Each structure stands twice: as C-alpha cells, then as structure tokens.
Amino acid sequence: MAMQSNEPVVFERDCDAALIPAGDTGVIPKGAEGMITQALGGSYTVYIQGNLFRIDGKDADAIGKEPEPAPELPADASEKDVEQLVWDQMRRCFDPEIPINIVELGLVYRCDISHTENHNWKVDVDMTLTAPGCGMGDIIAYDVREKIKLIPTVEEVNVEVVFDPPWSVEMMSEAAKLQTGMM
C-alpha cells in the first residue's frame, strides 16, 4: 500500500514509535491524535504535535490499519527464489522522509544469501544512507532486518550500515531520479 496524504488518526492503543529524524524511540499513548503523512512498505509516518514519528507495520492496528501479510515462499524454493524475495522485501523499506524505496535510492551495496547449519537461509546486507549523519540509519537497518526475517526459512539476518563508498545521486535508479526530478 502506498499512500501520501494527511489522514487523521487516533491511536487505539499505546504504540512503539521512532522520532524522525533522530531515531529516538518511545511510546505514543492510546488516544493520541495525529495525521498519517506517509504509508509506504507497510510502515507509517505520523505527524503529532509538530513532530514526525515512524510506526512499524506490525503496529498498524494501533492506528486502525491492517498489518500487511507476511511474504510467502514455496517449500521447494531455490536460492534464486529466496534472493528475489529478499530484494522484494528490501523494496518495501523506505526512509521515512523520502517516498522512494532504499533499493531504488541505491542504498543497498551488498546482499549475500547462504545456508545456515540448519539448512535455512542467512542473509547479509551492507547498506548506506543518503547522508552519514542521518539519524534514521538504525531505524532503516532495523526495518530491513525485520522485513527480511518475515521470509519463511530465513533464520539469520545481518544488516550493516557502511559509508564506503559514500552515497551519491548517481547510485539512484533512473526511476528514482525521475521521481525526485533529478533526471
């Protein structure tokens, strides 16, 4: 679901949230009122009393939304099938301030998939941020890790934020450049 509007919302229960862009976490209390300003990849950005907060998709019920279903993977899935689903899950990860997924932004530098001792899957991701001082780095990395962990048979996920090479606009896909007016 992709949405960008100012939809009013009242929190139906206490809800974990991350302050944008600082990344500090806390709890928004039941009854708090705000506006959903962005809903992308199953996560929500909510404006409350002059601040923006990121709400995980798993907490969508707190704002009256349905959590998105977990990804499905056939029992006989190949490594290529798993890799495709991992990339699809990363395309559901967004910087809460930029309505373009991290893959199209060119933030994913490496994605390796291997077997664990239990014959499940291990995924290692190196990613970067559009700016080294971005306070949302831990939140975005957490989102990547959690979305990949939803894939059946993925046992271990490691996400590292790296800054070499530094990110630049040239790393964006043509679609992302077009969407941001940089093309």
For residue range 28-87, list pLDDT tens digits in order: 999 999 999 989 888 999 999 999 999 988 899 999 999 888 899 988 889 999 999 999
- Maximum mean pLDDT: which of 91-100, 118-127, 133-142, 173-182: 118-127
pTM for the structure as a whole? 0.84
pLDDT at 3 over 60: no
For the chain, the structural domain boundaries read 7-63, 79-180
Q: What architecture is the 79-180 domain classified under in CATH?
A: 2-Layer Sandwich (3.30)
Place 180 in a pLDDT band, splitting at 50, 70 and 90: confident
Transcribe 111-154 into DSSP letters. Answer: EEEEE-TTSSEEEEEEE--SSTT-TTHHHHHHHHHHHHHTSTTE
What region does 88 belong to: left with phi over 0, alpha with psi -120 to 50, or beta?
Answer: alpha
Domain 7-63, CATH among 2.30.30.40, 3.40.720.10, 3.30.9.100, 2.60.120.460:
2.30.30.40
Q: Same CATH topology for 7-63 and 79-180?
A: no
Closest listed residue to residue 77, CA positions, set 118, 119, 129:
119
* DSSP, res 165: S
Q: Which amino acid is at 172?
A: M
